Amino acid sequence: MSLTPKQRYLVEALGAMAVYMAVLPLAILAYKHYAPTAVWVRVLLAALPMLPLFYVMTAVIRLVRRQDELQQRIQFEGVAFGFAVTITFCFTWFFLQRFDVVPSIDLIWVAAIGLWAWAIGKLLAKRRYS
């Protein structure tokens, strides 16, 4: 049975996310249990959950390369929308922070907003062409 590009991506991404869900608590437990002082060990533990995420990133690139021209255009419009929203958010938050209106936040929120904006951008682009 041949899988569509989307199905292949889901298999790859879900597999990698399962590995991520297994590795993340292990890395946190190891850090809390051994409390390593060596920087390189802490870097190693912090980077461990990133390995499956790196695989997801390459899976996204493989997905886009396997897709046809309209699907690639939809991906591009989604990424463009997501990028614009994320940059706008970053600049707005940066100035609000500089004027002591909002507190400093973790960088992970930028990733979360980028991913959601990308997904919304893709939905909007999909609607345009259906």
Partner 1 sequence: MKNRLKVLRAERDWTQQDLAERLGVSRQTVNAIEKGKYDPSLPVAFRIAGVFAQRIEEIFFPEDA
Contact residues for partner 1, defined by CB under 8 A: 4, 67-71, 73, 128-130
Instruction: Give residues with Cβ within 8 angstroms of 30, minimum separation 6.
Output: 45
CB 63 within 8 A of CB 8: yes
CB 49 within 8 A of CB 20: yes
| Minimum CB distance to partner 1, residue 74 (Å) | 9
Q: Which is nearer to partner 1, 20 or 126 (CB)?
A: 126
Q: Which is nearer to partner 1, 15 or 72 (CB)?
A: 72
Q: Which is nearer to partner 1, 4 or 97 (CB)?
A: 4
| Minimum CB distance to partner 1, residue 112 (Å) | 28
| Minimum CB distance to partner 1, residue 72 (Å) | 10
| Minimum CB distance to partner 1, residue 6 (Å) | 9
Q: Which is nearer to partner 1, 45 or 74 (CB)?
A: 74
